[in-house]
Chain A
C-alpha cells in the first residue's frame, strides 16, 4: 500500500520505480532476521551502493561470511555466497580467491567472528595482503548468541558474560589491521551511510587486503544491557560523537565506552598482493611456471 502523498504533487498518478537495492538482495528471503534498529541491514545497503557504483560483474563477486548476526549477510545478498564456520570466512575466501583470482571476494562478518575466533586468520590475511575486502560490522558484542563480550567490547560495558562489566582493554581494529599490513583501513558508523558506501567502494577497488569497519548498534543486547536506548539512539550518539580524522595514526583511534569515535580513512597504501608476490617468486624460480594459476586470464 503506497504511503505516497498526493497533496501538491502533480496530478498524474505516479508510476513507482523499483527500489534500486532489490536486485542485490534475495528478495524471496525478506524480511531479514535482524532486530528492529540493528544496523547490519544498513551496512548491506551500503555494500549494495558500492557494488553498483563499482560496476563490477556481479557474477564474479563472491561474498563469504562467518557465523553470527552479521554472518547472515551472505544469505541475503544475491551473489555467490558462502556462510561458513565461526571465525573462518577469511581462510575460505583465501582458498576461493587463490583458486580463481578472477573472483572479487568480499568477507562480511562481525567483530567477534573476525577478531576473536577468527583473529589468527585476520592477521595473516592482512600480512599476506591477499586481495579481498573485509567488512567488519562492529557492534561490540556477540549478538546471535545473546550478547557476550567480544574483543571490541569497551570497559565497563555489561555483557552477558561480563555481568559486572567488561574489564579487558579492547582491540583497536584499525590499529590491528594497520599493524598487520592492511593496505586500506577505514572506519565509519552506520549513521554515515554515504561515507560508509564510499569507503566500501574504495575498498573494493583497492588491490590487496582492504578493511572497512562499520560501527553498528545492537539494540536488543549491547544497548539494552547498557541502557543505551534503541538503535536510533545509538545512531544519534554516532552522529554526535563521531569525529572525522582522515589519516590519523591508527594507534590513536581506539574506541571507549560511549566515547568519541574517530571515523575516516586511516590507511591507504600500496603493497604487492599475495598473488603478485607469489607469481613473481615462482616466475623467477619455478620451472615452467605460468602466472595466474588454473589458467585464468589476468584481471586488469
Chain B
C-alpha cells in the first residue's frame, strides 16, 4: 500500500493505540449450511471454514484471526441461516 515513487523515506508507523473494543462471534454449528457468505464478506477477513464439520456434514466458520474481529456483525447480517453473529466487547467488561 505504500507508494514507493520517490526516495522519500516512508514515514514511521504511528504508534498503535491500545485496542478497547474486541469482537466475538458465535456460530450455531448445526444450523450452519457452510455457504461461506460470512467468510467472504468479513471486512477484516478474520473468518475461515473449519476442518471438521457439523452434524449435517457442512464445514462451519470459525475465527481464524480472532484478534482482528471487530464485532461488526456483518457476518450476522449476511448469514441466510441465522447461524452466526458477532458482537463487540469492551476490554475489561464481562458483559458486551
Contact = CB atoms under 8 A, between A and B. Distances in A.
A101 B77 CA distance: 31
Nearest to A6: B66
Contact of B94 (A15, A20, A35, A191): A15
Contacts of A39: 80
Given A31-B83, A191-B41, 20 more contacts: A2-B27, A3-B27, A3-B29, A3-B63, A4-B24, A4-B25, A5-B24, A5-B66, A5-B67, A10-B22, A10-B93, A14-B24, A19-B82, A42-B78, A42-B80, A45-B76, A193-B41, A197-B77, A231-B35, A232-B39
B58 A16 contact: no
Interface in B14-67: 22, 24-31, 33-37, 39-41, 50, 58, 60-63, 66-67
Interface of A: 1-10, 12-17, 19-22, 25, 30-32, 34-42, 44-46, 49, 190-191, 193-194, 197, 230-232, 235-236
A71 B81 CA distance: 16
A17 B82 contact: no
A76 to B, nearest CB: 9
Of all A-B residue pairs in the complex, the 8 with the closest CB atoms, nearest first, are A41-B80, A5-B66, A36-B33, A37-B35, A193-B77, A4-B24, A36-B35, A19-B85
Contacts of B77: 42, 45-46, 49, 193-194, 197
Contact of A4 (B26, B76, B91): B26
Chain A facing B: main interface SS: loop
Nearest to B82: A21
Chain B facing A: main interface SS: mixed
Interface of B: 22, 24-31, 33-37, 39-41, 50, 58, 60-63, 66-67, 69, 74, 76-83, 85, 87, 89, 91-96
Contacts of A16: 24, 26, 87
Contact of B25 (A3, A30, A40): A3
B29 A41 contact: no
Contacts of B31: 30-31
Contacts of B22: 8-10
A9 B66 contact: yes
A41 to B, nearest CB: 3
B82 to A, nearest CB: 5
A8 B22 CA distance: 9
B68 to A, nearest CB: 10
A41 B79 contact: yes
A193 B96 CA distance: 24
A25 B29 CA distance: 18
B71 to A, nearest CB: 10
Given A3-B27, A19-B82, A45-B80, A10 B89 contact: yes
